[in-house]
Amino acid sequence: MKLKWALLSVIMTLTAVLAGCEPLMVLDPKGPMAERLAHDIMLSIGIMSFIVLVVFAILIFVLIKYRASKQSPDYEPPHIEGNPWVEAICVGIPVLIVGYLSFVSVQSNYIVEATPKGYEDKEPLVVYASSSNWKWHFSYPEENIETVNYLYIPTDRALEFKLYSFGPITSFWIPQLGGQKYAMSDMVTTLHLAADVPGEYMGRNANFSGKGFAENTFDVTAMSPKEFEEWVEEVKDTASPITEEKFNELLEPGHLGRMTFTGTHLDFSPAPEGHNHGSTDSSDSSEDTSEGHSEHNDH
């Protein structure tokens, strides 16, 4: 009886604690890519939950049917050979489950690597997202502005992130908009996202990169296209230009707050475009960033 009440108390406590938790960000999608990933996660959870329930049901059945009985001490159960149907089911069902989940995973991988569905005919907003210990630099070539540790994006427009690093390998991740992708020092990786809903989102480096990793985060604000244009104009009117000297200071290891500049570091420290991975468009998004990556490696 004491064990029963102890288990009941634990269950009630967990229920009360979890009831106060916010929903997992990966299961609260605000864009088409995140919706696809959340769907795959819930599908996997559903299949695994069904398997667990079936296994427990079979376990209970076996425990009851083959429990100890009042047979005589010298009773011997009949010898039974292996059943081919049982063996086929035990092997075949797991193979089918793994095959189905593999098919869904491969299909989803192609979907999230392409331009978001419904945005194919719209010109994407290209943002170069580069990391350094332990901060994020966001360059907007088309708008000719740059931010540090915060990202403003318009809703209802495809986003094309060009990722690379000025230090160790990092991982760019905005959980409510899509999955993570690595940023490396000698190549550019491309990540396609889109935000359907205005709001404030959390972004971070999801790959351990030293003692400052825990604070290697950035703020993301999704807003209407009109508000985004107004913000761009405000930055051009109020922010100071970024210089090579200032940018070299920003690359020094440490943490910084939010910063805003006119111009981008791509003018004097271009991305390593010679090794572009994951882009669906072979043409360069910005002519100014098509130079070699020797200057990038100097920093």
- pLDDT tens sequence across 239-298: 999 999 999 999 999 999 999 999 999 999 999 876 566 655 434 444 444 333 333 334
Please name the residue that has the structure tokens 């999704």: 222
Pick the CATH number of 125-281+289-297 from 2.60.40.420, 3.30.450.20, 3.40.718.10, 2.20.25.570: 2.60.40.420
* Predicted local confidence at residue 292, as pLDDT: 37
Least confident of 47-51, 181-185, 278-282: 278-282
The Cα 183–Cα 166 span in angstroms is 9
Q: Break the chain into its structural domains and give their ranges.
A: 125-281+289-297
The Cα 269–Cα 53 span in angstroms is 57
What b/e sequence results for 216-245 when a residue is b if at least 16 CB atoms lie within 10 Å of its CB, and e otherwise?
bbbebbbbeeeebeebbeebeeebeebeee
The backbone torsions φ and ψ at residue 113, rounded to the nearest 5 degrees and listed phi first, read: -85, -10
Mind listing the pLDDT tens digit for each residue in 220-243?
A: 999 999 999 999 999 999 999 999
pLDDT band for position 7 (50/70/90)?
Answer: low
Which helix (H) or strand (E) segment holds residue 225: the answer is: helix 225-238
